[in-house]
């Protein structure tokens, strides 16, 4: 009977050790991925901002602007390793109650590598022909300090975000990534002609065709435990320039910083994700392996006890030898 118990304990121990390896190196990498049912609201605020109010045909200065971004996961369109998220950003002058701009983006990306892909109706402001590449709304879980190509919907291309050191953000030692978008002509937009006086070309001048230009400096603070940004700043400048000749109109100049409420929300979400990742990568494999090792040791002990029985000793159920 003891031999049977030893074999059972040894088998269970070996099974648990194998399970620990599988959980750590096979199950965890497949379960740790971007969710498909995400819902997240974040806000960035800019004080002393400048923008062009198209309704009043005036340039507004010293404004308080808030950019509210809402991200929703499209569960029905997501499939397999691909997640689909919809993003809407409303930029408003909160003092005057003016809506400055509304930006929409639909992204499809690999749930583990975060790489954007062209499927499932991915678009920028409804334009499905807009190419999307690099990293978008979701950053890869396996955080590294390597530069990342982060997609910018304004210029419709990806720009490098370079690792620039560590900083503590609300108790988390975060990695800081800096992205510089140079003064770039925005393609794919149809703009009406702009009166020359708005461009600084003198009053009474004729309206002229213009192009839009955009530049930005963005800073992302990333939680290395999850790879998720937990804070963000953006300094943006958007202008209109004549296709030929002098002149320029600033349509947006703002230094946007994430609000403390949004910082706390992202920190909470990231910490919750870090706990789940740690459970799958560390706690469950180590606990399972520890129990498996104990069972293996118990099985080995039972087996040795069986082998140490003195030679010639009767087995259970055998009659004792007698002499006549």
Q: Which residues of the chain have pLDDT under 70?
A: 1-3, 6, 9, 13, 16, 20, 22-31, 280-281, 284-285, 289, 292, 303-324
- Tokens 């005057």 appear where? 96
Phi, psi of 279 (to 5 degrees): -60, -45
CB 176 within 8 A of CB 160: no
- Tokens 């004549």 appear where? 242
- pLDDT tens readout for residues 277-311: 777 667 766 777 687 677 777 777 776 665 555 55
The pLDDT value recorded for residue 232 is: 96
The pLDDT value recorded for residue 309 is: 54
DSSP letters along 222-282, please? Answer: EETTTTEEEEEEEEEEEEEEESSSS--EEEEEEEEEE-HHHHHHHHHHHHHHHHHHHIIII
The pLDDT value recorded for residue 216 is: 97
The pLDDT value recorded for residue 323 is: 45
Phi, psi of 101 (to 5 degrees): -160, 150
- CA proximity to 41, closest of 258, 216, 190, 200: 258
Q: State the pTM of this model.
A: 0.81
| Helix/strand/coil for 10 | helix
Question: Which residues, 6 or more positions from 166, have their beta carbon under 8 angstroms from its beta carbon?
Answer: 173, 174, 175, 176
Return the CA Rg of the chain: 31
Q: Which two tokens stand for residue 127?
A: 């334009």
Question: CA 304 to CA 178: how far, in whole Å?
Answer: 62
% residues pLDDT > 70 (the chain): 85
The pLDDT value recorded for residue 85 is: 97
């Amino acid at each position: 009977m003891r031999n049977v118990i030893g074999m059972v304990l040894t088998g269970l121990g070996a099974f648990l050790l194998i399970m620990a390896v599988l959980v750590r190196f096979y199950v965890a990498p497949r379960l740790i991925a971007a969710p498909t049912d995400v819902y997240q609201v974040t806000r960035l605020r800019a004080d002393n901002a400048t923008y062009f109010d198209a309704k009043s045909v005036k340039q507004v200065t010293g404004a308080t602007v808030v950019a509210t971004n809402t991200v929703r996961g499209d569960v029905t369109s997501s499939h397999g390793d691909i997640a689909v998220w919809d993003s809407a950003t409303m930029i408003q002058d909160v003092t005057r109650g003016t809506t400055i701009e509304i930006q929409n983006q639909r992204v499809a990306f690999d749930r583990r590598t975060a790489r954007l892909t062209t499927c499932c109706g991915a678009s920028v402001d409804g334009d499905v022909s807009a190419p999307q590449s690099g990293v978008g709304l979701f950053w890869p879980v396996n955080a590294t300090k390597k530069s990342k190509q982060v997609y910018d919907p304004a210029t419709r291309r990806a720009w490098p975000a370079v690792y620039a050191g560590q900083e503590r953000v609300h108790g988390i030692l975060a990695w800081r990534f800096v992205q510089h978008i140079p003064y770039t002509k925005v393609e794919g937009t149809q703009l009406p002609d702009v009166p020359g006086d708005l461009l600084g070309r003198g009053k009474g001048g004729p309206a002229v065709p213009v192009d839009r230009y955009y530049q930005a400096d963005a800073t992302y603070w990333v939680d290395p435990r999850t790879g998720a940004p937990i804070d963000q700043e953006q300094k943006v400048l958007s202008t209109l320039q004549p296709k030929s000749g002098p002149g320029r109109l600033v349509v947006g100049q703002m230094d946007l910083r994430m609000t403390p409420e949004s910082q706390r929300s992202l920190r909470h979400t990231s910490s919750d994700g870090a706990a789940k990742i740690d459970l799958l990568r560390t706690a469950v494999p180590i606990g399972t392996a520890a129990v498996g090792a104990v069972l293996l040791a118990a099985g080995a002990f039972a087996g040795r006890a069986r082998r140490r029985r003195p030679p010639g000793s009767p087995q259970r159920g055998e009659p004792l030898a007698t002499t006549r």
